[in-house]
Structure 1
Amino acid sequence: MTYERIIQIEFNHCDPAGIVFYPRYFEMVNSVIENFFADVVGRSFAAMHFGASNGVPTVAMEAVFQRPSRLGEKVRFRLRVEKVGGSSVKMWIEGHGDDGLRLKVGMTLAWIDGMKAAPWPAEMRAALERYRETQDA
């Protein structure tokens, strides 16, 4: 099953013309990732950042913007895991509106422990791999 989250476009997301200001998309994408880690991987950002010196910072990002999103619309974000590495994960997040693809963002995140890249904890790696194998089911 593919992880999805619907985000309604609010006034704070938009420029004066009522169209999403592109950096706001990155905030939405981060929200999808943060919820994915809590809901699917089993480790919330709060637990990573406040309970330990861990985290999953973004080390690479690419984005393609297909169509604008406007105030009041709902965008369905879908997250796909492409590859789980030793200490990183490559994922794609697509945002779809009623008229099709709005944006596609590729991201590489790295697991850090004590501010240095480290191997994934076994339970997190297993959850990411399990999701990758079943995301299209």
Structure 2
Amino acid sequence: MESATLDGSDESEEIDMDALDSDERRAVRARRESMVVVPQTDADGECIGMYDVHSQSGKRYTVILDHERGCDCPDTEYNHAENCKHRRRVAMTITETDCPAPGQKIGEYGDTLEEVRQQLEREREDLLGKIESLNAMMDGFED
């Protein structure tokens, strides 16, 4: 399975965001921003129609597909967006990956999430190493 859909890394085409209306901008951000979609499941591993969306800002939002205000993000709350970028990303992830739709078992998508978790852990370790190196360099500048 391709993980590019999970992290939204496709930025091959330049788009003038200022020329787009708010709905079009949401669609572009849903595709391009780094987000991880985690379906909530029952005890049997069946998706209950709720998804946690971990955004590149570090925040987590909950998307409920069959609810009128289907996301708890500020865009939905304050702008009354019917299809915020998080809700759009859930729909894309369901249609483009093996992410389960409501009523389906999590199946192989659990393995995909584990791969994402491992990649994020490697990135975290790399960043911690860089921070340690930077701190060591900064120690030399103290009086």
Under a length normalisation based on structure 1, what TM-score does the superposition of the two structures give? 0.37
Whichever structure has more strand as a proportion of its residues is 1
Whichever structure has more helix as a proportion of its residues is 2
Under a length normalisation based on structure 2, what TM-score does the superposition of the two structures give? 0.35
The higher radius of gyration belongs to: 2
